[in-house]
Structure 1
Amino acid sequence: MSETINWKELSEVERLKHESNYLRGTLVESLANPITGAISDGDTQISKFHGIYQQTDRDLDKERKHQKLEPLYSFLLRIRMPGGRFTPDQWLRMDDLSDKYANGTLKLTTRQTFQLHGVLKKNLKNTISEMNQSLLDTISACGDVNRNVMSHANPAESPFHAELIDLARKISLHLLPRSTAYHEIWLDKKLVAGGQQDQEPIYGDRYLPRKFKIGVVIPPYNDCDVFSQDLGFIAIVEKNKIVGYNVVVGGGLGSTFGMPETYPRAGTVIGYCLADQVIDVAEKVLLVQRDNGDRKNRKQARLKYTFDRMGEELFKAEVEKRLGYSLEDAKPFVLTHNGDDYGWKKGTDDKWHLTYFVEGGRVRDDEKFQLKTAVKEIAKISDGDFIITGNQNLIISGVSAPVKKKVDALLKKYGVAPTELSGLRKNSIACVALPTCPLAFAEAERYLPTLISKIETILNEFKLGEEEIVIRMTGCPNGCGRPYLAEIGLIGKSPGYYNLYLGGSFNGDRLNALYKETLNEEEILQELRTIIEDFAANRTEKEHFGDFVIRKGYVQEIREGKDFRH
C-alpha cells in the first residue's frame, strides 16, 4: 500500500510515522547520543507517542545562546491514567520521581493526569522504568492516537462514578496502540525482530491524522468539558441505572492566529447508543477519522474539520455503516456547570471526598506554601485514593471519618488548609505556557493568579466576589486550557498582551467570541471593569456572566465553530 502513496502530497509527519517501525524511530540512538541534551528532529515527533515532549527553558535561552551553549533541553512526561484516579502508592512514586529526576513539582493537567517537567534526557529511561514499578505508564499520552480518556471526577456527586471511570479505562485499553516499541525502548523488553510481529489493527502504520480526545460525563456535571472533546459520551440515567449515552462528536479547541480556516469547535450531539455499545461506537468514530481526516495539512487534521467537511449526515452515516446499526435519537439531558464543587462531601458509600483547589494545577512547596509535602504526608496515611479533575484540581477521595480528621490536620500543619475563594478563582484554568512550552507567546500559569487578584478587586467593589465566573488563560491559541469555552477567555498574543474573549456558557456548551485584541493588563482591567459594572446593575435574576455579555451585545453568540474569528 505504501508504494502507492504520494508522500509529497502529505504532511512530513505522515512519512515519519510510516517509517518509524511502529513508533521506534531512532529513539534508542537519540537517547544514547552524549553530545546533546536533545533528541533528533524526527524523534521529537515519535517520542510524543511515548508520552514525551522535548522542551527548553525559555527563560534561559537567550543567555545560553550568548554563552554559545545549546538550549537547556529537558522533557515533559505525561502519564496515561483514564479517569484520573491514582492510588496513594502511585502518588508517592510520582512525588519521589518529581524530586529525583524532574523539577520538584507535579503538574495536574486538564486531562486528569500528571505531568513531570524538567526531566533530562539521561534520566528519561530511569524515570519511565520506575513509574512502571507502580503500574504507571506514558503510552499514548501524546501523539496522533487516542489520548488520556477523561470521566466525571467526584465520586460523592454520583453513585455512577465507578461505572464511568471503569468505562474510561475500558475505552482507553481498547484504543491503546499495540506496538511493543514502548516496552522495548523504556523497559528493556525483548526486541521484536525488525518490528515485523507488530500490528496496529485499529491505527495502521500511520496512526491517526492528529490527536484524538474522549471524555465521559454524567449530567448535570460537565467537569471534563464534553463539548471540547473529539468524541464525548453523556450518560443517560433511567430508573436509577445508566441505560446508555448520548454521542457528541467534533469538539476541539486548537486554532492558529491569522488562519481563519482553523477554529475552535464545540461538539455536536449526533445520537444515542446503549451502554454496551460505547466501545464499539468509540472505535468506529475513530476509524472514520482515521480514514477521512486530512493527512496533508496538520492544521486541518483534527476530527472537527473532518466532521464539518463531511457534514453531520454523511459523517453519521459512515459511522453507522461501520457499526452495522443506527444510533438512536439523542435523549434529553441538562448540564449545569463545567467547574468543580469544592470542600468535603460524603459519598453514598459513607466515605469522604475533599475537592481541593490547586492553583494552576501546580503541586509544589515554597517557603509559605507546602502543598506538595502536605499531600505526600496525606498519601502515607490515606485509606482512599486520589483523583485529578479536568479542572487541574485534586480530590482526596474515599477516606474514612478518622482519616478525614487527619487530612484536615495535615493541611493545616503545612499551611495549605482550604480557604475561601472568589467565584472567579474557583473557576480558573491556566496552561503551562512560559517558560517551558515552545508554542507560548505569553505567560499563563505564572501570571493568571495575579491578574485574578486584580479582577477580584473590581468584583468586590460591585459586591460580586462570590459570583461564579469561568475564566481561563493560555499562552497561545492552541487551546490546551480550553479558553474558548470560558465566560472570560484570555489568549496570549505576545509578551504581556492578550486577546480577550467573552460569552462562553457557564455549563461549557457554547464558544466565546473575540471582544478586543492585543490588550495589556491595564486595558484588560479597564474593559472588564466597564462590563462588570454593567453586569452588577443590569443582570437578570441568576443570569450568568457569559449569557449577560451576549444579551447586552458585547459579543455575538457563536454556535458554529466556522463562524469564530480571532
Structure 2
Amino acid sequence: MVQTPLKPAQSGPNPASAKRSKVEDIKENSNFLREPLASELLTDTSFFSESAIQILKFHGSYQQDNRDTRTKGQEKDYQMMLRTRNPGGYIAPELYLTLDRLSDEYGNHTLRATTRQGIQLHGVLKKNLKATIAAIVKNLGSTLGACGDLNRNVMAPPAPFKNRPEYQIAQDYANHIADLLRPQTEAYYEIWLDGEKFLSSEEHPEVVEARQRNVNNTLFPDSPEPIYGTHYMPRKFKCAVTVPGDNSIDAYTHDVTLVVITDKAGKLKGFNVLAGGGLGRTHNKEETFARVADEIGYVDKDDVFDLMKAIVATQRDYGDRVNRRHSRMKYLIHDWGVERFRQQVETYLGKPLKPFKKLPKWTFYDYLGWYEQGDGNWFVGVPIENGRILDRDGLQLKTALREIVQKFNLPMLVTPNQSVLFYDIKPEDKDAVQAILTRCGIQKETDLDPLVRYAMACPALPLCGLAITESERIMPTNLGRIRALLTKVGLPDEHFVVRMTGCPNGCARPYMAELGFVGSAPESYQLWLGGSPDQTRLARPYMERLHDNDLETTLEPLFVFFRDGRKKGESFGDFCDRVGFEALRQFADAYDPLRYTPSHTKEGRHRLSVSHDFFLTLQATADKEGRSMGQVVADALALYLQQTAE
C-alpha cells in the first residue's frame, strides 16, 4: 500500500513552460480568484461550471448535489457547502448565532463541526450564496481560504486555560500564521461584499511586516499575492500549533505543526517544527499514501514567520503541479528526504534550523466536560456525535447551543474531534448552563459509550461528491454493532479509537485510528488497523474490501485474539501493531467461534489468562489434534494434577 512514488517531484522550481494540470491554468486565468466565478454568480442558473467550482473553493465553498434526490433525466439538486475559516476553532457569539440562523434560512437546518475546527453549512442554493457569505463576514466570520490550494484553517488545542500560558501562545500563533498566509487578493470582498472590506481583528504588526519582508526571494514583490503568486499552492496546505504533550490536534497529520517551547517562566522561546504529514490517498494508486510528519528542527520565535514563508516557498516552487495526486508536500519530503527538504527551507530562511528539542509523550485530549480555566471561570466541552448539530429524536442540540449563546453571550471553540466547548463561564452561571444541556438531552461525557466519544466520521453521502459509500449516517449503527460484538466476546467495557470515511481522502483521519474504515465500494470499506490510542502511529491496511454485512464475522476473531493475547493494559491498536498482521490473519483464518466462546458466560466455568506465546502453543496443538483448546487445556491440567497428587 505504501511505496516510493512512481514519478519523483521536480528537482527545481516549476518552470513556466512545464506541462501543468488543468487546475493550474484555471488559477492562472482567474485574475487572482475572480473569474469565471464573479461572472457566473450573476447568471440565472443553479450551478457553476467546472472552472468556477475550482475558484469557488478558494472562497470557502464546494458545489455539491443531493444524491438522495437524483432523478434520471432531471437536473441535479445542486447545493453549496460553506466552511468557515476560524483559526484555533474560535467562534464569536454573534458569528455562531448568525450561522445558526443561516442554516435555517438558507441551509438544510443543520450545522456541522469539522475535524479542522471549522463549521460547515450545508444546503445553500447558488442564488443565496452571496447573502450567506456576506452575513458571515459582517458577523466576525470568514470563509476565505477554508478550501482550495492554499493554507487551510490553522488548528490549535481547544483548551482556554488562563493559567497555562503555552495554550494562549498556541492560540495566538494559530491566528498569526493564519493571517500571514491569508490570500491578499481583493476578489473575496469584491464578489461577496461589493468591495466593502471587513476584518474581524487587527493583524499583529509583526505579521504585516513579515508578509512584506522578502528574505531570499520567498516573495513575489510586485504581485497581488506576494507569498502565493499567480498559481497559489500546488495543493491544499494544512498547519497546526500545539503545546508539548497535547495531541488533541493530531500533530503528525499536517503539512506543518509548530510545537510551542517556553522557558520555566512560561515565556515563549521558539517552536519545534514537524512537517510532511498528510492522509489523503487514492484507492489502487500505490503512488499515493498516508504519511506522518517528520521532525524538521527548532526555530527561535523571532524567525517563525520567515520559517513559515520558507516552507511555503519550498512547496510552492518545488511541489508537483503536473499530477495533483502527487502535489501535497508529504510527497516532496518523501521523494527528497528530510535532509534535502531541510536544506532548501534553510536556503529560503537564510540560516540553519536548530536541533529538534526533546518532547514529552503525546496524549490525546478531547476536552469534553467541565474544566476550571485557571482564572475563576469555567469551560465545558459539549459532545456532538460526528459533528452534526441538529434537533432530532429527543436530542435538542441545536436548540441548546443557540440558547446558551443567546442567554450568556459565550464564545465557542470547535474541537478537532468534531465537538464544541463554551468558555469564560462565570461560576454563578455554571449550573444554569448545565441545566440547559441536561434539559435538551445532551449526555455528560462520563455517560457516553467511549466508543462513541472517541469516534469520528466524515459527512460522505448524500452530499459529498467524493463519497463512495456511507460514513456519518451509518457510523452510529456500526458502533452499536461493535459494542454488541465486544460484549459477546467478553469485552463489555473495552474501547478504542474508531474512525470512518466514505472515501480514501481521509477527512476524519481514519489512518491514525486503532480501527479505521475507509470507503472502497458501495457498502464496503477498507479496514485499517494498528494506529495508537494517542494518534502517534500510522495504521496499516488489513483488508481491502469489507462489506458492511460482514462486519461481525470479520472483527470477532480479531477481538477474541486481542482478548486472549493482550498484555496488561494494552490497547487494541497497540496489540494489532505488536503481534503483526500475519498473526492476525492466521488466527482469523483458523477461528472457530465455538472453540473461543468466553467460558465465563457458561454455568460452572471460568476464564483463565495465559501468556501470548503459550496461547499460540495451545492453538497449534489443538489444530494438530483436531480438538478444541479447552479440551487440550483440560486434559493437560488433569494429567498435571494427577501427577502432583501421586
Q: TM-score by structure 2 length?
A: 0.81
What is residue 300 of structure 2 aligned with on the other side?
A: 274
Q: Verify the 8 A CA contact 2:410 2:424 in the aligned structure 1.
A: yes
| Aligned residue in 2 for 1:562 | none
In structure 2, the partner of 1:504 is: 531
**Which residue of structure 2 lines up, in the alignment, with residue 479 of structure 1?**
506
Query: In structure 2, do the counterparts of structure 1 residues 556 and 350 end up closer, same or farther at CA, with 3 Å as the change threshold?
Result: farther
- Structure 2 match to 1:123: 128
Task: Name the SS of the counterpart of 2:55 in structure 1.
Answer: helix
1:311 is matched with 337
Give, in whole Å, the separation in 1 of the partners of 2:580 and 2:359.
28
Q: Provide the C-alpha distance between the structure 1 equivalents of 2:393 and 2:286, rounded to a whole number of angstroms.
A: 46
SS at match of 1:278: helix
Deviation at 1:522, TM superposition (A): 3.6
Tell me which residue corresponds to 2:618: none
- Alignment CA distance shift 1:355-1:540 (3 Å): same
User: Structure 1 residues 393-402 or 258-267, which shifts more?
Assistant: 393-402
Deviations 1:495-533 (A, max 9, x none): 111111000112222111111121122422222222222
Which amino acid in the other structure matches residue 121 of structure 1? K
1:341 Cα deviation from its structure 2 partner: 3.7
| 1:252-284 CA-partner distances (Å, limit 9, x unpaired) | 000001110010100001111123332221111
Cα distance, 1:535–1:134 mapped onto 2, change above 3 Å:
same
Runs of 5+ consecutive residues of structure 2 not aligned to the other structure: 1-13, 198-221, 585-646
User: Could you tell me which residue of structure 2 aligns to residue 331 of structure 1?
Assistant: 357
What amino acid is the match of 2:17? N
Map 1:397-546 → 2, pairs under 5 A: 397-418=423-444, 420-461=447-488, 464-546=491-573
Q: Distance in 2 between matches of 1:86 and 1:374?
A: 16
Give the secondary structure class of the aligned counterpart of 2:68: coil
Distance (Å, rounded) in 2 between the aligned partners of 1:400 and 1:466: 36
Question: What corresponds to 1:560 in structure 2?
Answer: none
Q: Which residue of structure 2 aligns with residue 186 of structure 1?
A: 192
Query: Greater CA deviation, 111-120 or 391-400?
Result: 391-400
**Counterpart residue type for residue 235 of structure 1:** V
CA contact under 8 A between 1:339 and 1:391: conserved in structure 2? no
Q: Please tell me whether the aligned partners of residues 397 and 442 of structure 2 are also in contact (alpha carbons under 8 angstroms).
A: yes
Q: Report matched runs for 1:30-49 at 5 Å.
A: 30-34=40-44, 36-49=45-58
How many angstroms does 1:463 deviate by? 5.6
CA shift at 1:417, angstroms? 3.8
Partner of 2:114: 109
Q: 1:2-401, aligned counterparts within 5 Å?
A: 5-6=16-17, 9-34=19-44, 36-61=45-70, 63=71, 65=72, 68-156=73-161, 158-189=164-195, 199-241=224-266, 242-401=268-427
What amino acid does structure 2 have at the position aligned with 1:55?
A: Q
1:538 deviates by: 2.5
With over 3 angstroms needed to count, the CA separation of the structure-2 counterparts of 1:307 and 1:543, relative to structure 1, is: same
- 1:517 aligned counterpart, secondary structure: strand
Residue 194 (structure 1) aligns with? none
Closer, same or farther: CA 374–4 of 1 in aligned 2, 3 Å: closer
Opposite residue 52 of structure 1, the aligned amino acid is S
Q: Give the whole-Å Cα distance in 1 for the aligned partners of 2:234 and 2:182.
A: 16
Structure 1: runs of 5+ lacking an equivalent: 192-196, 558-566
**Deviation of 1:4 (Å):** 7.4
Structure 2 distance, partners of 1:555, 1:338, is 29
Query: Deviation of residue 327 (structure 1)?
Result: 1.1
- In 2, the alpha carbon distance for the partners of 1:254 and 1:452 equals 24
Count of residues paired in the alignment: 546
Distance in 1 between the 2:196 and 2:411 partners? Answer: 34
Paired-residue identity, % = 41
The secondary structure found in structure 2 opposite 1:283 is: helix
Letter in 2 for 1:218: V
Instruction: For 1:363 and 1:462, locate their aligned partners in 2 and report how far apart those are by CA, in whole Å.
Output: 34
Separation in 1 of the partners of 2:337 and 2:436?
A: 54
1:422: how far off?
2.2
How far off is 1:248 after superposition?
A: 0.5
Mapped to 2, the partners of 1:546 and 1:169 lie a distance apart of 34
- The CA RMSD measured in Å over matched residues stands at 2.1
